Structure formats: structure tokens, C-alpha cells
Amino acid sequence: MKSGFVVLVGRSNVGKSTLLNALVGTKIAITSPKPQTTRFPIHGIINDERGQIVFVDTPGVFAKARDPVTSSLNQHVRDALRDIDLVVYVADPTRAIGNEENMMLRLVEPVKAKKILAINKIDEHRPPYIEEYRNLSDRFDATVEISALHHKNLKQLVSVVFDMLSEGEAHYPEFQFTNIDNRVWVAEIIREKVFIQMGQEIPYSVAVEIEDIEERKQSTPSNSPSKKGEKTTDILYVKANIVTNAERYKGMLVGSGGRKIKEMGASARRELEGALNRRVFLDLQVVVDPQWTARLL
């Protein structure tokens, strides 16, 4: 069995988080058109008959590390590169190679582990700088052209990764697909649905708080007349609050006749069920708490 830590590196917005989510098959890293979304390394784990790969998402590296936040982000990337088995260097052929790219390339150059160049976004119509990136191929052990967004050539990428990894023990139990705490992950999924549903209306006055997550047995009456009694199914019960700081926002979040909160709840539940492959009961409420920033941030 093969196993290893595979770090995804590349400048911001090349699609590292999108790739991680696509590889794992569920959303664990929140992606956005804005840079700097990922603030700490997120592990996405895939298991199959060949073994286990732990993909490590990193924040972008910034050319000018003036403030402490930026330099600590840069340090995260250096740390992530230290104890890894393989590098997947993600590149975006819709943007020219510039300072930031050259800095990233210098950062990975001394790394001893094998390196794969993943040229992303090939779904874009004729990415203008693709030849510039293809010319980098001889600095890497393999090159794969992919689309993280459209799940193109990802199987090929995973095969190349498995080929290059050595034999080893799994680092995570087989059912676990991320290092992120369940509560944080569930809250992020709900928060995303709030943003989607509300658009630009109240983006920063909302937080999500998980009050309870527990396994519950739910008894469902047996349909078959021959079998008496009930059968039980496991469901995941989640109680969550959408917390906002003002009464007027509550009305907006609930919507007329509860339309908005119902929609948010339904799409969050669908995503959780898909990701966890089990039934979820989501008990979602809007709560007004003027102190929420102090409590939740």
C-alpha cells in the first residue's frame, strides 16, 4: 500500500482549493475569487485500493511580506514544504508568469521531493500563456494538464501521484476525509449557503454556530406487512444557529414565510448528505445576538 503527504502549491487563485475539493469529492476548502481564503493548511484525504494520499492545501504566497499575517502565511507554505513526499505545483495559464510565479518557482526548487506540474484551467478557451507554462516542464518530474473546475484529467493526476509515492502506512483512518474539525466544516457549509442565498445583502453580519451534532437512531415503520415492528436508520442530527447582530437582519435571513431559511437549510442538508453519504436532519434557526462578534470571531 502506498501513502504520503502531497502538498499543493502555487500562487493565489491558480485553483488549489478547487482542486483539493474536486480530488476529495466534497467541499472542504472554501474557494473564492478573492485571494487569501485559506489561512491554515487543510488536509484532504483520498483512499482507494492503491493506498492513501493526503493532499495539503496551502495559502498563496505573497511577494511582499510586509505585514505579520502575510509573512506567517508565507511561513505556512515553507513549513508545508518541509515534511512532504511530493509536490503538486499548480499553475494558471490564463495569467502570465510574473514576479509572484517566479517567487513560487524559487520556493519549490530546493525541495528534494518529486514534483508534478499541474497546468490548471484548461477548460478556458485557449489559455493565452499555456506555452510559457509547458516550457517549465523540464524542471518537473511530470506534467499534467487539468481542469479542477470541470474535473478533467484528475484521475490521471491521481495515477501519477500514486506512481511517484512510496509504500507506507496510512496516516488517517479510512473514513476521514479531512483534518478540519466536523463542527467547523459543517458551519462553513451553512455559512456558504447563507452567502449564496443572501447575495450581497448582509455578508459580514452573519456567523454560524453549531450547537449540537449527534448520531440519532430514527425509527421508520416497516412497509412490508409480513415483517412486524420497525426498522431503525442512523441519521446525523445537527442543530445550528445563524447568528446576526440586529433584529432587522433576522427578518431578511428568515425571508417571507420562512422561504430563505428553508432554502438555505435544504441546500446545506443536501450538501452534507452528499458529502457524508448519510441522512442528515438539520435544525436551523436565526438568532439575534448583538455580542456575536465577541463570541464567535
Among 5, 9, 17, 206, binds Mg ion (CB under 5 A): 17
Distance CA 262, CA 197 (A): 10
* Distances 264 to 8, 135, 189, 190, 267 between C-alpha atoms, Å: 31, 46, 10, 7, 5
The smaller minimum CB distance to ligand GDP, of residues 123 and 212, is found at 123
Among 121, 191, 193, 269, binds ligand GDP (CB under 6 A): 121
Q: Which amino acid is at 181?
A: D
Distance CA 26, CA 271 (A): 8
The smaller minimum CB distance to ligand GDP, of residues 47 and 120, is found at 120
Among 67, 83, 123, 234, binds ligand GDP (CB under 6 A): 123
Q: Which does 211 bind (CB under 5 to 8 A by kind): Mg ion, ligand GDP, none?
A: none
Residue of 172, 195, 212 whose CA lies nearest to 24: 172
Per DSSP, the three-state class of 220 is strand
* Distances 169 to 52, 113, 146, 202 between C-alpha atoms, Å: 8, 18, 29, 47
Query: Least CB distance from residue 257 to Mg ion, whole Å?
Result: 37
Query: Least CB distance from residue 10 to ligand GDP, whole Å?
Result: 6
From residue 225 to residue 244, the character string flagging contacts with ligand GDP as x (rule: CB under 6 A) and all else as - is --------------------
Q: List, in sequence order, the alpha helices (H) in 36-147.
A: 68-82, 99-108, 130-134
Q: Which range, of 15-23, 41-49, 155-163, 236-244, touches Mg ion by CB under 5 A?
A: 15-23
Q: Which does 124 bind (CB under 5 to 8 A by kind): Mg ion, ligand GDP, none?
A: ligand GDP
Per CB under 5 A, 153 contacts Mg ion: no
Under rule CB under 6 A, which residues in 17-76 are in contact with ligand GDP? 17-18, 31-33, 35, 37-38, 60
Q: Which does 44 bind (CB under 5 to 8 A by kind): ligand GDP, Mg ion, none?
A: none
Per CB under 6 A, 124 contacts ligand GDP: yes
Q: Which does 267 bind (CB under 5 to 8 A by kind): Mg ion, ligand GDP, none?
A: none
Give ∠ CA 281-287-291 in degrees, rounded to 5.
135
* Distances 88 to 39, 104, 143 between C-alpha atoms, Å: 19, 12, 9
Per CB under 6 A, 188 contacts ligand GDP: no
Binning the chain into helix, strand and coil, the percentages to the nearest 5 are 35, 30, 35
Supply the DSSP string of 136-154, one letter for each residue.
Answer: TGGGSSEEEE-BTTTTBSH
- Cell representation of residue 191: 455559512
Q: Which range, of 10-18, 47-55, 244-252, 286-294, touches ligand GDP by CB under 6 A?
A: 10-18
Among 120, 143, 153, 178, binds ligand GDP (CB under 6 A): 120
In the complex, the residues that contact ligand GDP under the rule CB under 6 A are 10, 12-18, 31-33, 35, 37-38, 60, 120-121, 123-124, 147-149
In the complex, the residues that contact Mg ion under the rule CB under 5 A are 16-17, 38
